[in-house]
Amino acid sequence: MAYAVEMRNITKRFPGVVANQDVTLQVRWGSIHGLIGENGAGKTTLMKVLYGMYHPDGGEILIDGKPVRLKDPKDAISHSIGMVHQHFTLVGSLTVAQNIILGKPICKKTGILDLDRANKEVERLGEEYGLPVNPKAFVKDLPVAMQQRVEILKVLYLGADILIMDEPTAVLTPQEIQGLLNTLLLLKEKGKSIILITHKLRELMSVTDDITVLRGGVVTGVVKTSEASEKRIASMMVGKEISFEVPKDVAKPGEEVLKAEHLYYQDKFGVTMLNDVSFTVRKGEILGIAGVQGNGQTELIEVLSGMTTRYQGRIVFGDREIRQSDLPLKRREAGLGHIPEDRQTMGAALAATLLENFIMGGLSDLEYTSPGMISYSKAATVAKGQYEHFDVKYASLGEPAGALSGGNLQKAIVAREIYRNPQILIAAQPSRGVDIGATMFIHEQLIKLRDAGKGILLVSSELGEVMSLSDRVIVMYNGAIVGEVDPKNSSEEELGLMMAGMKGGHS
Amino acid sequence: MLDLGILGVTMRMATPILLAGTGTLYNDRAGVTNITLEGSMLLGGFFAVACSFFTGSWVLAALAGIATGIIVSLVFYFLTSICGGDELVVGFSMNVLLDGLSIFLLKQIFHQSGSLVDERIVGVPQISSEVLGGIPIIGDLFNGQTWIVYFTFAFALLTWVILYRTPFGLKVLACGESPQAAATVGVKVLRIRFICNLIGGALCGLAGVQISLGFLSLFTQGMTVGRGFIALGSVVFSKGNPLRLIAVTMFFGFAEAMSNRVQLMQLPSELVLMLPYLAVVILTFVRFDRLKKIKGMKDQEAC
Amino acid sequence: MNFEFRQNPINVRTALAAIFIGTLIGFVMVTLFGYNPVEVFATLLKGAFGSAKNIATSLRWATPLMFTGVAAALSFRGGMFNFGIDGQLYFGSLAATIVGVICTGVPGIILIPLMMLTSMVCGALWAFIPAFVRVKLNGSEIVPALMMNYVAIHLTDYIVHYYFLASGTNGDSLKTERIAEQAQFSPLASGYQLTGAIFIGLFVVLAFWWLMKKSKLGYGISMSGMNPTFARYGGIQVDRMRILVMLLSGALAGLGGAVEIMSMRWRFESGFAPSFGNDGILTALLGSSTPLGTLIGAIFMGALKSGSLAVERYTDVSRSLATVIQGLIICFVSARLISKYIGFDKIAENLSVLFHFNRKAGEKDA
């Protein structure tokens, strides 16, 4: 029997990055196939290729044994492929039934939508697959788990026999996850094939039949679930990375410089993103926060830096109590520096010049400002010196920041934040999308800052980075801190298990 | 002052606003920010008058107005979607351009500056019937109106059906609110937006016809006096709901009818003319969502 | 509907290409109506630059655009779209006129600044409402700002009609008495239309330059406009900047009206400034909202206006030809791909190389 899906030697390149290199994926009919890997391993890219959203640079795709060309999602749909996206693609102001029938409307003979029939059809579909929904409810009023149900029904309604599920459990509570996994098993029973993308090991082990592991855009393992162990998959996933050996002395931590106590935060949808987070950073140490992206790290940084003020809990910088209403300016004055994870929108104004970018956050720097005024020429001298020191390559300070390559821009941001001489530096994903040379350089600078007695909070989803730089590591999962490890005395495997939600590495 | 005759005037005054508003509603719901309605109305009105002048046929005149609106919307679509122009900037400068163009053409074709009044201009006829006029209130509302008035209200109601009860409407709503959602199930977003743009242009052109040939059968430079922007505001306030749009535009129509009526009395006409615009500004400050919330809280307390 | 506005920087090349195409289409239209385009174009040029007097007239029309252009440019730099410049201008200038009419006994050295201050305060007041809607009510500033234009026009008419009508008019033309003589500017040379107002205009442009290039405030404004998230991250209070920028913009609009009255009209008259606001917005859009660009844009628009007046006088072509050309130019400035399609890009590039001002204007100056 032919495979439901066979992707042969798929290669997909983006400018400067190879997202998929010679990837082969074989999914049997009526099975659940797990696709696992770290962030940036190329899972989503591969699936977007299968759904016709990206066009591969090499390789071929076979559906039910027949080679196909998928130009757009419509082609994929007509080959009965459906995709449940990580970020739901639903229209909030429409009802459940309207969302489901959008791609293939049900009409009366007059051309008017037959909403009664649509409602009945949706109800029937929901019952058939054990996904009961209220077809008349508005999607925006539904909780996340329910929206996901709508998303799955939408795909089934369009006649999908092959379902791609992109990180479906990322947004669900443990009980909801169990419900979803049951649904997947039911779908399998009905003869559908499912490709499940995840980086949570336990789920993977409990429902899948086969597993393909991706790392850095290449397949690092294909196993039958029944023959695999969690540990083995974790090591295939994390791999023996080239650990960036950063020469560093033993930390000599001093007094506490950043203290966070019982931080709680709910996002605008009312989902709890931070759940009783407490930790301290001391002078002269790097505290690493490891975790799969989306487990509350971004929100933690927003809370600490004052980009959001709708949190609860206590924050202390050095001996200065930070009030909840304190805006970023106050927090900067209290000694905070911040290398943001999103350098394109928060870390820089791409249309502004390099010099203007350098000045940000330093409006009280006496080197180049006087009351009310900025001397751009003095600032240029300072910026030139600092950029040179940080090896930022640019044509002129007058060119827009957007003209710099990713690595250079990141170096410029690091240079700016370190120049402000912060007592506490939040470094979020400091080496994301940056080449090895620049990464090494940034790491050296962070160590240097640590040795100068500053406190550094390093947040990264790159395990290797956290392990090699940090003096202590805490792991975040689902908005809470699930454990602390000593990076010198623990294996990446152990950490990988913690990141996948298995506390202490034991399931 | 408040005799029922004002109802008829309200309808007449609300018509161009509602018409242009309905057209823009399609754009709004499909995710296009087209603010050229003032200019389309003006130029549509101009070409309707010009066509009426030369052919003596109000049918051809109305068609000319609609065609003008469509051409304007095509130009807008070309400049923004094809050539990458900013919708606000292009919309703004097209309004300036079309205003200038109407004056330019008035001068170059008719050798008039300011306005064109001529007995050869045939207005859109008003439909009167004694039966209709005999019915209280309904008669006041609908008797003696142009067919554009009937069409406008009928089409606004139809728009509700189109948006919420047809496949096309479903796609429009999806394109405006979540283009990705539409695209992932194979809806062609750009094509839907193009169609909405055309509908918007056609209706704005017709709105211009009502202003120039439905009221007085003449053209004056800048005769739309901001009605396009009032229509734009109405769409914003009605949050894209056609029924709410009818209510909002009726309110503005009433404000305008009042200002016409009050002018005949001893009140200062300038203050009265200000009414419709002031009404829009005041409406900006009313937070409907908050009102609803307060009402909801009260309901809860009552329980 | 999406009313978020962020101006994309425009380079000299695009601007030149747009001016070229816009003017070309304008003259094709003229040709279609049976006029000789060369003759009309020559008249336009002569009207704008033909003699010292004509140049003075061009500068006279450029002067109000320096105020409204900077007002618009300032709001664009701060990420706001001030559509209400006309209203702010009317309201501010009427307030200034009233001061000028009442305080006949005050010496000019006090009266002129007093009138200017009044106009600025009232213009800012008028601009506060749309700013408030944007920042506090989370709505769009555009619709209320537009409506405030019409409200201002009718409100000023009312005030003039019922409280300050000039004696001898029966309400057929709405105008106030003349302002006190000591506040009336006189021409720099007799027979020329140019007054000292242009120096105030140049000062405003210079102040705008200073604000954007030298002050912390200007830095905050510019960063909030370019990337509000980045600005907030760096400790700038974006909401405060947005309100401030609208207030400043309104104040400049009001000032522009007051100066126009002191300089040219000497009284407030209904409809005395029919399109200064819109022209100011076009000026800023053409000049990429930079100080130098706005200045050049104002002079260009002023010359176009002065030239079109000459065209109307001598050739029977409507002066609104200028408005059409203006609108076309800004359309093409925004729809930048046009120049690529038709291949005028190269011509424009060659032209700008020829004049060596590739880096001087346009691009973000820094």
Q: C45-55: per-residue pLDDT in tens?
A: 999 999 999 99
Give yes or no for a contact between C247 and C82, defined as CB atoms under 8 angstroms apart: no
Give the pLDDT confidence score for residue A173 in this predicted structure: 67
Classify residue C153: in a domain, yes or no.
yes
Q: A83, A94, A116, A122: which to substitute to probe chain B, counting the most B Cβ within 10 Å?
A: A94
Instruction: Tell whether C23 lies on the interface with B, counting CB pairs under 8 A.
Output: no
Residues of chain A with pLDDT under 70: 1, 16, 39-40, 171, 173-174, 239-246, 269, 433, 435-436, 492, 502-507
- Residues C290 and C283: their CA atoms lie apart, in Å, by 10
C345: number of Cβ within 10 Å: 18
Give the largest CA-CA distance in chain B: 71
Q: How confident is the model at residue B185 (pLDDT cuts 50, 70, 90)?
A: confident
What residue numbers bound the domain in which C273 lies? 64-289
- The 10 Å CB-count burial string (b at 16+, else e) for A132-146 is ebbbeeebeebeeeb
Give the pLDDT confidence score for residue C365 in this predicted structure: 32
Closest CA of chain A from B166, distance in Å: 5
Q: How confident is the model at residue C165 (pLDDT cuts 50, 70, 90)?
A: confident
**pLDDT above 60 for B24:** yes
pLDDT in tens, B118-142: 888 888 888 777 777 777 777 777 7
Does the beta-carbon distance from A105 to B181 stay under 8 Å?
no
Classify residue C28: in a domain, yes or no.
no
Domain B5-123+142-302, CATH class in plain words: mainly alpha
Classify residue C45: in a domain, yes or no.
no
Rounded percentage of chain B residues whose pLDDT exceeds 90 = 46
- A255-259, B140-144, B287-291, C184-188: lowest mean pLDDT where? B287-291
Half-sphere exposure of C129 (CA within 13 A, CB side): 26
Closest residue in C to B288 (Cα) is C137
Does the beta-carbon distance from B167 to A77 stay under 8 Å?
no
**pLDDT above 50 for C341:** yes
Close Cβ partners of A253 (under 8 Å, ≥ 6 residues apart) = A282, A283, A284, A285, A471
Give the pLDDT confidence score for residue B303 in this predicted structure: 44
pLDDT in tens, C86-104: 999 999 999 999 999 999 8
Give the pLDDT confidence score for residue C72 in this predicted structure: 96
A193-198 and A162-166 strand pairing: parallel
Give the pLDDT confidence score for residue B173 in this predicted structure: 93
- In chain B, what are the domain boundaries? 5-123+142-302
Does the beta-carbon distance from A307 to C227 stay under 8 Å?
no
Give the largest CA-CA distance in chain C: 63
SS3 sequence of A28-83: CCCCEEEEECCCCCCHHHHHHHHCCCCCCCEEEEEECCEEECCCCHHHHHHCCEEE
Average pLDDT over residues C233-260: 94
Give yes or no for a contact between A172 and A145, defined as CB atoms under 8 angstroms apart: yes
Whether pTM > 0.90 for this model: the answer is no
**Which of A83, A91, A104 is opposite residue B181, by nearest beta carbon?**
A91
Classify residue C332: in a domain, yes or no.
no
Q: How confident is the model at residue B1 (pLDDT cuts 50, 70, 90)?
A: very low
CA distances from B273 to A254, A378, B267, C154 (A): 73, 56, 11, 7
Instruction: Tell whether C234 lies on the interface with A, counting CB pairs under 8 A.
Output: yes
Tell me which chain B residues have a C-beta less than 8 angstroms from the C-beta of C155. Answer: 270-271, 274
- A86-90, A339-343, C248-252, C264-268: lowest mean pLDDT where? A86-90
**pLDDT above 90 for B54:** yes
Closest residue in C to A365 (Cα) is C216
**pLDDT above 90 for C206:** yes
Tokens encoding C224: 């909030």
What residue spans of A208-363 are helical by DSSP H?
230-238, 297-305, 328-333, 354-359
- Position with higher pLDDT, C208 vs A431: C208
Does the beta-carbon distance from B281 to C338 stay under 8 Å?
no
Does the beta-carbon distance from A348 to C232 stay under 8 Å?
no
- A481-485, B286-290, C27-31: lowest mean pLDDT where? B286-290
**pLDDT above 50 for C154:** yes
3-state class percentages of chain B: helix first, strand second, coil last, to nearest 5: 75, 5, 20
Report the domain count for chain C.
Answer: 1
**pLDDT above 60 for C363:** no
- Residues B214 and B58: their CA atoms lie apart, in Å, by 10
Tell me which chain C residues have a C-beta less than 8 angstroms from the C-beta of B31. Answer: 2
- A330-334, B249-253, B291-295, C32-36: lowest mean pLDDT where? B291-295
Lookup result for tokens 């029939």: A117
Lookup result for tokens 């082969």: A24
**Which of C215, C220, C237 is opposite residue A373, by nearest beta carbon?**
C215
**pLDDT above 80 for B189:** yes
- Residues C318 and B112: their CA atoms lie apart, in Å, by 10
Average pLDDT over residues C276-299: 93
**pLDDT above 70 for B298:** no
**pLDDT above 60 for B31:** yes
Give yes or no for a contact between B125 and B209, defined as CB atoms under 8 angstroms apart: no
To 5 degrees, how large is the angle CA A64–CA A68–CA A72?
120
Does the beta-carbon distance from B84 to C336 stay under 8 Å?
yes
C303: number of Cβ within 10 Å: 23
Does the beta-carbon distance from C215 to A374 stay under 8 Å?
yes
Classify residue C132: in a domain, yes or no.
yes
Close Cβ partners of C175 (under 8 Å, ≥ 6 residues apart) = C160, C165, C166, C169, C267, C268, C269, C270
C203: number of Cβ within 10 Å: 11
- Specify the long-range contacts of residues C225-229, CB closer than 8 Å, at least 24 apart: C225/C6, C225/C7, C225/C76, C225/C77, C225/C78, C225/C79, C225/C80, C226/A349, C226/A351, C226/A352, C226/C6, C226/C79, C227/A345, C227/A348, C227/A349, C227/A350, C227/A351, C227/A352, C228/C79, C229/A345, C229/A346
**pLDDT above 80 for C347:** no
Close Cβ partners of A113 (under 8 Å, ≥ 6 residues apart) = A101, A105, A106, A107, B165, B166, B167, B170
Residues 88-127, chain C, touching B (beta carbon < 8 A): none
- Residues C306 and C256: their CA atoms lie apart, in Å, by 19
Lookup result for tokens 């006129």: C97
